[in-house]
Amino acid sequence: MNGEQWFKVRKIATPAFHHDKLKVSQILYEVLRLYSPAPLLTRANVKEIKLGEIVIPPGVLLSLPIMLVHHDHEYWGDDAKKFNPDRFSEGVSKASKNQVSFFSFGWGPRICLGQNFALLESKLALAMILQKFTFQLSPTYMHAPTRGVTVYPQHGANIILHKI
Ligand code: HEM
């Protein structure tokens, strides 16, 4: 890509880069909520903790089911299964009820180091595609999210690109 082409890409992509509350960010968060690439996290408990009535001794491996929490009506409301990017209009911390329940990138001191990079890269890729193409879902697409190491569409994500 030459300098002029980069200038064009940057001009289109720039607004998408700088604001957490932009629609494109909300869309990416909602996709990550519904189809979190990492469906669960594990943690090893180092010292005894009490969670409600349950006492967890040190050395226990805890499984934190991201996918289940992300689809839980108790945290996300009646439309928990629906694609609704607007729920992120006030940012991640206000998207769910009562407490932060979005953790596609993990949480705490070991939170994903590449989080900002991944979001930025997605926006840049999208901006570059939208410059040259419109696209639509192919009629051959079958909605079948499944999991290997990460969550992925079992039969691929078939889309039809139209050159602008
Ligand atoms: C959509 C894309 C991505 C998702 C959903 C994702 C998700 C995660 C999750 C769930 C963890 C574990 C966090 C925890 O234990 O609390 C993690 C860790 C990590 N991720 Fe990502 N990740 C993504 C992209 C990336 C990229 C692009 C990079 C690097 C360029 C990256 C680098 C890392 C590293 C280095 C860690 C380990 C951090 C640590 O243990 O201190 N990730 N990621």
Q: What is the pLDDT of residues 40-66, one digit of tens each?
A: 999 999 999 998 999 999 999 999 999
Is 112 among the annotated ligand-binding positions? Answer: yes
List the domains of the chain with CATH numbers. 3-131 (1.10.630.10)
Residue 111's pLDDT band (boundaries 50, 70, 90)? very high
User: Taken in order 137, 140, 145, 147, is the CA torsion positive or negative?
Assistant: negative
Mean pLDDT for all residues in the chain: 89
Mutation probe of ligand 1 site: the residue of 100, 105, 116, 152 with most atoms within 8 A of C-beta: 105
Q: How far does the chain reach from its first CA to its final CA, in angstroms?
A: 18
Cα separation, 92 vs 154, whole angstroms: 28
Asked if 36 and 57 touch (Cβ cutoff 8 Å), the reply is: no
Residue 15's pLDDT band (boundaries 50, 70, 90)? low
The alpha carbon of 134 and the centre of ligand 1 are apart by a number of angstroms equal to 30
Cα separation, 30 vs 82, whole angstroms: 9
Residue ranges of the alpha helices (H) in 44-96?
Answer: 66-70, 73-76
**10 vs 146 pLDDT, higher one:** 146
Cβ-based neighbours of 55, under 8 Å, separated by 6 or more: 48, 49
Atom of ligand 1 nearest to the CA of 119: 1
Tally of helices (H runs) and strands (E runs) in the chain? 5, 8
**94 vs 98 pLDDT, higher one:** 94
Average the pLDDT over each of 21-25, 44-48, 65-69 and give the range with the smallest value: 21-25
User: Taking 90 as the threshold, does the pLDDT of residue 30 lie above it?
Assistant: yes
Residue 143's pLDDT band (boundaries 50, 70, 90)? very high
